[in-house]
Structure 1
Amino acid sequence: MGSGFIVELQRNSTDWANVVAEIVKIEKKIFPKHESLARSFDEELKQKNSGLLYIEVNGEVVGYVMCSCPSSLCASITKLAVKENYRKQGHGEALLKAAIEKCRKRKVQRISLHVDPLRTAAMTLYKKHGFQVDSLIEGYYSSDRNAYRMYLDFESD
């Protein structure tokens, strides 16, 4: 397990620009151009219902998760990414747990996300944390790439 720690990106933080720049780099490396938020990252994060948690190892941003809570009932995880050389070290899982916890604190009833069925590691991680496949959406990412919509429901207490 890496000794990374999770930070919530605050709008007014002094390292906002640096962190966003780091994340944009990861974004460009991992996601195909049309799926990358690199261009619109700042706008995405300025929406008041979206949040970003990132994980730092030795001062380097190695992964991040973006959530948005458009309503009090439903949240969605819009991005979860970890730099390739930091994968399989528990960072993705740590980020996912932190995002789930953040949504739970907001008392949302459901978290949903979309995942490429071919990304087995991601699928396994989400299922491990209770996400269930809702439906297959054909051509979600591009004409030849589908997505599973998955969700996690919280018990209302």
Structure 2
Amino acid sequence: MAKVAIVELNRNCANTVEEIVKMERKIFPKHESLASFFHDELRKKNSGLLYIHVNGVIAGYVMYSWPSSLYGSITKLAVKEQWRGQGHGEALLKAGIEKCRTRKVSRIMLHVDPLRTPAVNLYKKHGFQIDTLVEGYYSSDRDAYRMYLDFDSS
């Protein structure tokens, strides 16, 4: 039985940050990677990062922010290839949503490549709706869906 834990990043843990930066570089094309800005992103008071440990190995992470009191954002969600399809991305997404919810935002937004069908389906499963297609979001020939999840105001 795998030992799985979602952990909030301790910003002083340089080894963990470096491991996540390596994962970022491997998973995302250079022009989409936050690797060179990762430390700057983590210094912001309105952002956070959760990562998932599976048997002592970092298998994935979710980065989130709340740029204003109106909305939060899932800025990154990544799972190492060998750990995909096992529910780790879903667990990270749910944890990221909950972190944004605790900030009392009324909406969470994210961007996703329409060709990443498993990711689009995961977001839809958790209530995200497609707002619009943003042409050239990732590069001149790669678009993105802007998706959102609204919370009840009650």
> TM-score band, normalised by the shorter chain?
over 0.9
Say whether residues 1:4 and 2:4 are aligned partners: yes
- C-alpha deviation, 1:34, in angstroms: 0.8
- The alignment yields a C-alpha RMSD, in angstroms, of 1.1
Ranges in structure 2 where 5+ consecutive residues have no aligned partner:
none
**Partner SS for 1:121:** helix
**CA distance, structure 1, for counterparts of residue 93 and residue 34 of structure 2:** 19
Q: Which amino acid aligns with 2:7?
A: V
Ranges in structure 1 where 5+ consecutive residues have no aligned partner:
none
Q: Which amino acid aligns with 1:9?
A: L
**Partner SS for 1:97:** helix
**Partner SS for 1:88:** coil
Q: Which runs of 4+ in 1 moved over 6 A?
A: none
What corresponds to 2:46 in structure 1? 49
TM-score by structure 1 length? 0.95
What corresponds to 2:84 in structure 1? 87
- C-alpha deviation, 1:39, in angstroms: 1.1
Q: Percent identity?
A: 74
Residue number among 80, 92, 96 corresponding to 2:93 in the alignment? 96
Q: Where in structure 2 are the equivalents of 1:10-29 lying within 5 Å? A: 10-12=10-12, 16-29=13-26
Q: Which amino acid aligns with 1:17?
A: A
Count of paired positions? 154
Call closer, same or farther: CA 1:108–1:30 in 2, change over 3 Å. same
